[in-house]
Amino acid sequence: MADEPKPLTTAGLATFLDVGNPSLNLLRVQPGIPIDVAYEQVSVLLGYIKHLVREGDMDDDHKLLGAADYLSVLAKALMDDIELAKNRLH
């Protein structure tokens, strides 16, 4: 009987929130998260980002826009890490 293929998971290589001087990566995507779960979280994050940007723009609220910026960095790191995991297959 052939082994089932191992589910694709995050690589755990993408970092985000560079801080300090010299710049240091504060956070990293955790390895081993199933890709479908990571995609779901990116979708949720993008919904929150859209809401925060809309509300922040209407209210001229820079704290909401700043929160949207932080979440967008997190969403990008998740997508980057998913791509890194996919590229490891090739």
pLDDT tens track of the chain, all 90 residues? 567 778 899 999 999 998 899 989 999 999 999 999 999 999 999 999 999 999 999 999 999 999 999 999 999 999 999 999 999 876
Is 63 inside a domain boundary?
yes
Is 22 inside a domain boundary?
yes
Parent domain of 57: 15-88
Is 10 inside a domain boundary?
no
- Number of structural domains (the chain) is 1
Is 47 inside a domain boundary?
yes
Q: Are 81 and 11 within 8 A, CB to CB?
A: yes
Is 21 inside a domain boundary?
yes
Is 81 inside a domain boundary?
yes
Is 1 inside a domain boundary?
no
CA distances from 90 to 83, 84, 85 (A): 11, 10, 10
Is 8 inside a domain boundary?
no
